Amino acid sequence: MNDHHFQANDIKKIVSLIILICAVICFCALAVSLIYKAVREPEISFASDRVTLESGEAMTLAVEVEPENSAMPEVTFQSNHPDIAAVTNQGFVKSKAPGTAVITCTSKKGQKIKAEITVKAPVQALSKKQKKKVIYLTFDDGPSKNVTPKLLRVLKKYNAKATFFVVGQEAKEYPDILKKEAAAGHTIGIHTYTHDYDKIYRNSSAYIRDFNRTEAVIKKVTGQQPRYWRFPGGGNNDWMNSKKRKKIVHALHKRGYREMDWNADTEDAVGIRYSAKRMTRFGITTIRENKTPVVLMHDAATKKHTPEVVENILKYYTKRGYTFEGLNDYYGKELTFGLTGPID
């Protein structure tokens, strides 16, 4: 009986000891984890690591941290060509002369991230003839499997470049078409992921989340960092008030993006039943009314007249000495009819 009682007490002591040891181990692990988190820097990255500026333009390079709720570590900035793009210790970049510079951001604990800054000649450096004779064709809502390939063939036929403001979910479904657009030298811009007005315009955070999904698709498929975006419905629409727009534009400007609306169009957004002839006539007229025409069109699956209309416009204006470029070769200011105009 005594032996049995002794064994039971021993077992209880052993179990208690094991529990105590486990508790000490857990406490130590927790302490080490907290100390590690306190000492370890959050991971830093540039919101945009490829930026193009016109000579004389300036911007702030936004640095992001991971995890998102972490405190920003102390960082310094340095340019390898300050004569091309100079940078302050706050990450404020001022472009000075055409060329390419690399901005390096270094954290106190030795992390290094780099951003490539391409500086282009200012619009004043271009001849009046060149500025007058360039047309920028832009296409929203694609890519689509039935319209976009035909459109790419027409553009190739006339050696014309254009800009595609893609919808992320369509780009994800047709990555080969998106890849062909980029490989042909066309500019790829962002037109959100879902194109769902109620969803993307709920608040500025919802818009940016949707926007980021498209950016990720474009970078993954093409390897390119987009520079331009266009609001669904344009910069002035019934779903976005001035306050909401300011927040979105400010956030995207900090990442090096430029907003681009339009000043000419073919009415294809409102005229599904319009003939190709009518759309062509409207396109030619509105292009003629602008010194630097940026033309709104669409390459969604329902826009079946688009390739024919584009060929008519290309044929008409090529004969008159015009060239067609993507927005990556655009030297003017942002084109926006937002509620408050361009925002610095």
Give the distance, in angstroms, between the CA of residue 115 and the centroid of all CA atoms in the same chain: 15
Which helix (H) or strand (E) segment is 139 a member of? strand 134-140
Over residues 73-98, the mean pLDDT reads: 90
Percent of the chain past pLDDT 90, that is, above it, reads 59
Q: Is there a contact between 155 and 183 (Cβ–Cβ < 8 Å)?
A: no
Which helix (H) or strand (E) segment is 66 a member of? strand 63-66
**Single-letter residue type at 104:** T
In the predicted structure, residue 192 carries a pLDDT above the cut 50 = yes
* pLDDT tens per residue across span 129-172: 455 589 999 999 999 999 999 999 999 999 999 999 999 999 99
For residue 51, the model assigns a pLDDT of 86
* Angle (nearest 5°) at CA 183 between 298 and 126: 80
pTM above 0.85, yes or no: no
- Please, what is the average pLDDT of the chain? 86
* pLDDT tens per residue across span 243-285: 999 999 999 988 889 999 999 999 988 766 789 999 999 999 9
Nearest-angstrom CA–CA distance, 199 and 194: 8
Nearest-angstrom CA–CA distance, 319 and 313: 10
Nearest-angstrom CA–CA distance, 217 and 168: 7
* 236-251 burial: b if 16+ Cβ within 10 Å, else e: beeebeeebbebbbeb
DSSP string, 278-319: HHHHHHHHHHHT-SS-EEEEE-STT-TTHHHHHHHHHHHHHT
Q: Is there a contact between 182 and 188 (Cβ–Cβ < 8 Å)?
A: yes
Nearest-angstrom CA–CA distance, 73 and 62: 13
In the predicted structure, residue 2 carries a pLDDT above the cut 70 = no
Nearest-angstrom CA–CA distance, 31 and 118: 47
pLDDT band at 216 (very low <50, low <70, confident <90, very high): very high
Nearest-angstrom CA–CA distance, 158 and 163: 15
DSSP string, 145-202: TTTHHHHHHHHHHTT---EEEE-HHHHHH-HHHHHHHHHTT-EEEE--SS--HHHHTS
